[in-house]
């Protein structure tokens, strides 16, 4: 045996060792690990010896169950909001600068701001002001009666991009808070977000939480002004609506009467219409649960239209339990510094009045402000009736959503795939079964057809599968069902290289060469054929990975890894064994 | 030695070329006809819609499942048995978007425009692609009753309507019962499956936008793969080889797709993956034959082109058949024990491996002969012309 043989032997043994090193964590994860270790990556890593890697392959959604979502972000809405804010500051700024104008509006449905001027007015001051203070805007038309402004292209793009990025951040926060292990949340295309939540136990709840807007606002209850409702003729009220009064000690110790209505759910819009016709534009009507928590009934609130403070200033939200009444859960919230100041001023100015906590447009509670609240904390109570467990979950979800922050733009679901856990387990079983049966069939066939040489090819085949799995683990690839099919397919194709070599050897034997010479020229001549054949298949695999999505990619990855490993095992490993055999004794005949 | 052929086979493969062309030509014609007349049964990956996999705890037949779902009046509803009969599993497929069809969507929007008074009066209009929610806003006062009346008129399954709090602008968000919920409820009620028992195993929804994206990506993948492969062969071998290889690939892909059309099998993303695997596999076969032709053309300089190709085909024949056999073994394993989810994928592979083996012998190499002979004729014709001019 020459020196080359030993170095090749060490190369192969080295690879086998490496493969074992990379495969062990995956083996441990799927066969030995406890549930806690499976749920937490840190715990799993700790369970591994320190010199060991903790990269492993993981199972795709189709194999372990879970949710796959593609969400579209309403980026136009974000641009609209930005333009609205710019229009406000432009309006204010021009007034301060003393620039004359007739109007500043953002027409609905258009992504532009229109500024109106008196005809013939000098524009130079406005032009300068626009260039220095509002460089984000550019004039797209300049008419005698006014300008049309739009966001500069880069800014527009940035607003859209940041809306998507913000949404991704919020969604990631929510998924983390919800305790999903290894969620995938990534941008896909210009305005889409791909979300994968593997192994989620309660998909409906997860979906509700992920997709919720979570707009939190605090608004002052205008109880004093509700006296305007006293004059309403009961005959004017829609059917089933009852006028109610509640007297309490308000600001300055004066007694205040809050006039409100209790109504069946159905009459909501009729009541709103009636009441809104009585009040001015700075107030609004909102609805919340009745004090008796009666199913199917609501009560009205008369609120200031403008929010006193919004959830943007929240830094923390957590579930608390009332020590005297264990079934009473509430969510306590903490504002940041600026929010705390606003909240302090708000509570100071509205002492003894009620403040409505409005979540996604519904009044969740309206407690009375007893005193100025410094330090920036507030609370949402969830009522004291109903199923305790359910309420605890509700409180938990609410605190998580609040903490993770509201979404900056509306989202809609564009693609949703939800796979149950049992189906995933079934797929794993049938995938394993297909691989096992496939391997066995090929092993039997090769042994039956090529005898001794077939056994050598079989060693290569088994090593090939070992290597493929190790490479998957090394790259922390996700194994999907099509990916398993890819492995099965590479088994079939892996023996192809050996078939090419063996058929070549047979040809050489037929023209009368000795076994030794036949092996040499067989391998030599087959080499370029094998390379050409596999490189072209590799091209197909790489293209698949580049352009394919989801299941297609999973398939492509295993196909590519399979091709590379199979070329190595079929050429290097089998040759090593042949060389070993022919060096031990003179080969009289070849079992092929 | 146990071999397929005791000695090197010497079939007259090249002599059968006219027969191959006729056979392939007529099969291809049928496939093209099928694709244009019958078309493909696109899965929701490409067409958009819902796919719901349900498993009943007791025996329920297809007609019964259909009868429970009939009252829902679903667009493009299909019910397919999934897996073995005793599994009691079905796939419920609904095309278009969720509970709302394109026509319905237009009708609803028109109604809202009418309610708003003008196109401008409808300040906001958005319908989730899943058909699970609608958002509308009006410039003029509109009551919840008016909105409800429109929803009722259009027969929408409404979960709830909430009004936004802006006074100046009535805004409503309408939650709709998703088609998946409707189907689950109808099946539970119809077959008496308690809500504690699992019925739905998998729900997939693909919106039209994503569907179009997936479709384009799939087509791009196949086009690029063919392009790059053509380039590789042209560089590595000879330009005369490349068209034959690509022709064989198109042949294989068309026939596989044709079989899908003929059997009405679902054409989805995994099937695209299978087709590209076929492209890779068939190419593998073709390259092995081409490689031998190239080798032999250096070795036997005196032989005619047809003789050369025929010898090469014979020399590689046992390898072609053996590889086909081993691949077939694993593909059959996938088909038989791989489970229902990748059944269509496995069928595509099975057809592709068979056709791919055939095409490397019967399409790719004959195309090479054809191209080379044409090129030679041109050369002789040109020679004749130039000598004529000289005279």
Handedness of CA B64, B52, B183, B208 (dihedral sign): negative
Looking at residue B22, what is its pLDDT?
95
- Residue A466 three-state SS: helix
pLDDT at B31: 95
**Distance between CA B81 and CA A533 in Å, rounded?**
39
What tens-digit pLDDT sequence spans chain A (592 residues)? Answer: 566 889 999 999 999 999 999 999 999 988 888 888 877 777 888 888 888 888 888 888 888 888 888 888 888 877 877 887 788 788 888 888 888 888 888 876 678 888 988 888 888 888 888 888 888 888 888 888 889 999 998 889 888 888 888 888 888 877 777 777 778 888 887 888 988 888 777 777 777 777 666 667 788 999 888 888 888 888 888 888 989 888 888 888 888 899 999 988 778 888 888 888 888 877 889 998 887 777 778 899 999 877 777 777 777 888 887 767 666 777 888 888 878 888 888 888 898 898 888 876 678 778 888 888 888 887 777 655 567 777 777 777 777 777 766 676 777 778 888 888 788 888 888 888 988 999 999 999 999 999 889 999 999 999 999 999 999 999 888 888 888 888 877 887 788 899 999 999 998 998 889 888 999 999 999 998 899 888 888 888 888 788 776 667 778 888 889 999 999 998 899 999 988 888 776 667 788 7
Distance from C-alpha of B323 to C-alpha of A329, rounded to nearest angstrom:
68
User: Which of A412, A510, A547 is closest, CB to CB, to B129?
Assistant: A412
CB A209 within 8 A of CB A174: yes
Structure tokens that stand for A371 in this block: 């005193």
Sign for the CA dihedral angle at A135, A140, A143, A146 comes to negative
A199 to each of A39, A185, A432, B67, how far by Cα in Å?
A: 10, 15, 20, 34
B-chain residues within 8 Å CB-CB of A499? 319, 322-323, 326
Beta pairing partners, A138: A150
Between CA A54 and CA A27 the distance in angstroms is 11
- β-strand partners of A478: A58
SS3 state at B4: coil
Higher per-residue confidence, B366 vs B4 = B366
**pLDDT at residue B391, as a whole number:** 42
In chain B, residues with a C-beta closer than 8 Å to the C-beta of A532 are: 236, 287, 291
| Residue A552 touches chain B, beta carbons under 8 Å | yes
CA–CA–CA angle B328, B333, B339 (5° rounding) = 135
3-state secondary structure of B338: coil
Q: Give the tokens for residue A355.
A: 């403040």
What are the φ/ψ torsions at residue B324 (nearest 5 degrees)?
Answer: -60, -40
User: Which residue from B minimizes the CA distance to A109?
Assistant: B123
Please tell me the distance from the alpha carbon of residue A348 to that of residue B205, in angstroms, as a whole number: 51
For residue B272, give both structure tokens.
């695209």
The verdict on A446 touching B (C-beta cutoff 8 Å) is yes
A124-162 burial code (b ≥16 CB/10 A, e <16)? eebeeebeeebebbbeeeeeeebbbbbbeeebbeebbeb
Q: Phi then psi for A238, rounded to 5 degrees?
A: -60, 160
Residue among B179, B181, B189, B191 at smallest CA distance from B55: B191
Q: 């920036």: which residue's tokens?
A: A376
- Apex A346 CA angle, A344 and A347, nearest 5: 65
> What is the residue-wise DSSP string for A155-198?
HHHHHHHHHHHHHHHHHHHHHHHHT-SS-EEEEETTTEEEEEEE
| B273 CB-side CA count, 13 A | 31
Phi–psi pair at A391, nearest 5 degrees: -70, -35
The answer to whether B169 and B138 are in contact (CB under 8 A) is yes
Residue among A546, A386, A562 at smallest CA distance from A467:
A562
Kindly state whether B168 is in contact with chain A, defined as any CB-CB distance less than 8 angstroms: yes
Single out the residue of A416, A461, A437, A131 nearest to residue B131, CA to CA.
A416
Q: What is the pLDDT of residue A392?
A: 77
Phi first, then psi, for residue A241 (nearest 5°) are: -90, 130
Nearest-angstrom CA–CA distance, A135 and A151: 9
Complete edge-to-edge strand list for the sheet that includes strand A242-249: A242-249, A255-264, A297-304, A283-289, A362-365, A355-359, A216-220, A309-310
| Helices within A54-123 (DSSP H only) | 61-64, 75-97
B9's CB contacts (< 8 A; 6+ apart) are: B314, B317, B318
B220 interaction partners in chain A (CB closer than 8 Å): 547
| Residue A281 CB partners (closer than 8 Å, separation 6+) | A305, B167, B168
Q: Average pLDDT of B55-75?
A: 85
Q: Does A531 touch chain B (CB under 8 A)?
A: no
Contact B338 A430 (CB under 8 A): yes
Please give the C-alpha separations between residue B49 and each of A329, B46, B99, in angstroms, as whole numbers. Answer: 41, 9, 9
The Cα of B325 is separated from the nearest Cα of chain A by a number of Å equal to 9
A90-94: list long-range contacts, CB under 8 Å, 24+ apart: A90/A115, A90/A134, A90/A137, A93/A129, A93/A133, A93/A134, A94/A126, A94/A129
> Across the interface, which of B165, B204, B213 has its CB nearest the CB of A416?
B204
User: Residue B168: pLDDT band by 50, 70, 90 thresholds?
Assistant: low
Band of pLDDT at residue B86, cut at 50, 70 and 90: confident
Q: Which of A284, A536, A559 sits opposite B167 (nearest CB)?
A: A284
Residues 316-345 of B with CB under 8 A from A: 316, 318-319, 322-323, 325-334, 336-339, 341-342, 345
Beta bridge partners of B49: B206
What CA–CA distance (Å, rounded) separates B54 from B72? 17
Nearest to B232 among A413, A420, A536 (CB): A536
Distances (CA, A) of B175 to A311, A390, B127, B134, B158: 24, 22, 10, 7, 6
Cβ neighbours, 10 Å, residue A49: 8
A-B contacts at Cβ under 8 angstroms: 269
Residue A385: predicted pLDDT: 55
Q: Which of A109, A412, A431 sits opposite B128 (nearest CB)?
A: A412
Q: What is the DSSP letter of B41?
A: E
Contact A152, A137 (CB under 8 A): yes
Contact in structure between A369 and A353 (CB atoms under 8 Å): yes
The partner residues of B51 in beta bridges, in order of sequence, read: B93, B204
Q: Helix or strand or coil: residue A430?
A: helix
Which tokens hold the place of B132? 């699970």
């Amino acid at each position: 045996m020459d020196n080359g043989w030993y170095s090749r032997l060490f190369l192969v043994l080295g690879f086998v060792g490496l493969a074992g090193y990379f495969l062990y964590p995956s083996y441990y994860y799927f066969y030995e690990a406890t549930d806690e270790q499976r749920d937490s990556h840190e715990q799993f890593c700790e369970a591994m010896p320190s010199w060991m890697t903790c990269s492993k392959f993981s199972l795709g959604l189709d194999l372990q169950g879970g949710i796959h979502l593609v969400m579209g972000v309403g980026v136009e809405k974000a641009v609209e909001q930005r333009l609205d804010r710019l229009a406000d500051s432009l309006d204010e700024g021009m007034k301060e600068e003393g620039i004359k104008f007739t109007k500043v509006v953002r027409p609905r449905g258009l992504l532009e701001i229109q500024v109106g001027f008196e005809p013939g007015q000098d524009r130079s001051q406005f032009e300068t002001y626009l260039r220095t203070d509002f460089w984000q805007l550019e004039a797209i038309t300049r008419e005698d009666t006014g300008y049309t402004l739009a966001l500069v292209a880069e800014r527009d793009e940035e607003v859209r991009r940041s809306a998507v990025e913000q949404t991704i951040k919020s969604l990631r926060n929510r998924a983390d808070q919800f305790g999903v292990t290894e969620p995938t949340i990534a941008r896909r295309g210009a305005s889409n977000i791909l979300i994968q939540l593997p192994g989620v136990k309660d998909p409906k709840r997860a979906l509700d939480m992920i997709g919720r807007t979570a707009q939190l606002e605090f608004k002052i209850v205008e109880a004093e002004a509700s006296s305007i409702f006293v004059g309403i003729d009961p005959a004017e009220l829609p059917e089933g609506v009852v006028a109610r009064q509640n007297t309490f000690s308000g600001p300055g110790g004066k007694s205040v009467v809050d006039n409100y209505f209790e109504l069946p759910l159905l009459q909501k819009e009729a009541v709103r219409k009636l009441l809104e016709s009585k009040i001015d534009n700075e107030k609004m009507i909102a609805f919340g649960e009745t004090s008796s928590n009666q199913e199917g009934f609501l009560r009205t609130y008369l609120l200031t239209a403008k929010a006193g403070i919004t959830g943007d200033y929240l830094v923390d939200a957590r579930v608390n339990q009332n020590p005297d009444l264990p079934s009473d859960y509430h969510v306590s919230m903490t504002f940041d510094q600026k929010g705390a100041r606003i909240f302090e001023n708000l509570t100071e100015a509205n002492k003894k009045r009620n403040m409505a906590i409005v979540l996604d447009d519904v009044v969740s509670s309206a407690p009375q402000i007893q005193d100025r609240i410094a330090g920036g904390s507030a609370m949402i109570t969830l009522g004291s009736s109903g199923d305790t467990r359910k309420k605890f979950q509700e409180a938990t979800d609410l605190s998580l959503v609040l903490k993770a922050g509201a979404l900056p733009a509306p989202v809609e679901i564009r693609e949703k795939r939800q796979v149950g856990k049992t189906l995933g387990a079934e797929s794993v079983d049938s995938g394993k079964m297909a691989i096992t049966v496939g391997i066995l069939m090929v092993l039997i066939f090769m042994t039956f057809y090529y005898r001794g040489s077939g056994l050598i090819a079989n060693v290569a085949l088994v090593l090939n599968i070992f290597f493929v799995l190790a490479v998957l683990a090394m790259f922390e690839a996700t194994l999907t069902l099509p990916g398993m099919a890819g492995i099965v397919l590479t088994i079939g194709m892996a023996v192809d290289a050996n078939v090419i070599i063996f058929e070549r050897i047979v040809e050489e034997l037929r023209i009368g060469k000795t076994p030794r010479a036949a092996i040499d020229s067989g391998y030599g001549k087959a080499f370029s054929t094998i390379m050409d054949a596999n490189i072209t298949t590799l091209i197909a695999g790489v293209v698949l990975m580049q352009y394919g999505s989801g299941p297609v990619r999973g398939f492509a990855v295993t196909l590519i890894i399979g091709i590379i490993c199979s070329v190595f095992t079929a050429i290097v490993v089998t040759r090593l064994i042949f060389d070993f055999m022919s060096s031990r004794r003179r080969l009289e005949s070849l079992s092929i | 030695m146990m071999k397929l052929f005791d000695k090197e086979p010497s079939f007259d493969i090249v002599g059968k070329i006219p027969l191959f062309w006729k056979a392939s030509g007529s099969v291809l014609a049928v496939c093209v006809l099928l694709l244009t007349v019958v078309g493909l049964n696109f899965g929701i990956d490409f067409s958009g819609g819902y796919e719901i996999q349900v498993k009943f705890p007791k025996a329920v037949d297809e007609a019964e499942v259909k009868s429970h779902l009939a009252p829902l009046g679903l667009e493009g509803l299909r019910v397919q048995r999934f897996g073995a009969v005793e599994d009691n599993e079905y796939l419920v497929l609904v095309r278009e978007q969720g509970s709302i069809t394109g026509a319905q969507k237009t009708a609803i929007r028109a109604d809202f425009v009418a309610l708003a008074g003008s196109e401008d009066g409808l300040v906001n209009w958005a319908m989730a692609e899943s058909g699970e929610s609608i958002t509308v806003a009006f410039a003029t006062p509109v009551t919840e009753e008016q909105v409800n009346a429109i929803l009722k008129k259009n027969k929408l399954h409404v979960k709830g309507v909430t009004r936004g709090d802006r006074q100046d602008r009535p805004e409503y968000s309408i939650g709709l019962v998703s088609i998946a919920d409707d189907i689950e409820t109808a099946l539970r009620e119809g077959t008496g499956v308690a809500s504690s028992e699992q019925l739905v195993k998998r729900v997939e929804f693909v919106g039209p936008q994503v569907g179009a994206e997936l479709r384009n990506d799939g087509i791009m993948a196949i086009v690029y793969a063919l392009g790059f492969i053509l380039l590789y062969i042209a560089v590595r071998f000879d330009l005369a080889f490349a068209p034959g290889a690509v022709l064989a690939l198109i042949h294989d892909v068309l026939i596989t797709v044709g079989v899908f059309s003929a059997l009405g099998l679902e054409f989805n993303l995994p099937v695209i993956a299978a087709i590209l695997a076929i492209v890779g596999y068939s190419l593998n076969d073709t390259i092995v034959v081409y490689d031998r032709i190239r080798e032999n053309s250096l070795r036997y300089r005196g032989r005619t082109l047809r003789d050369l190709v025929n010898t090469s085909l014979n020399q590689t024949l046992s390898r072609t058949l053996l590889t086909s056999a081993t691949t077939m073994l694993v593909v059959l394993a996938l088909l038989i024990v791989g489970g229902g989810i990748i059944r269509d994928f496995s069928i595509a592979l099975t057809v592709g491996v068979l056709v791919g083996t055939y095409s490397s012998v019967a399409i790719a190499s004959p195309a090479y002969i054809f191209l080379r002979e044409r090129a030679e004729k041109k050369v002789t014709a040109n020679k004749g012309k130039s000598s004529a001019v000289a005279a």
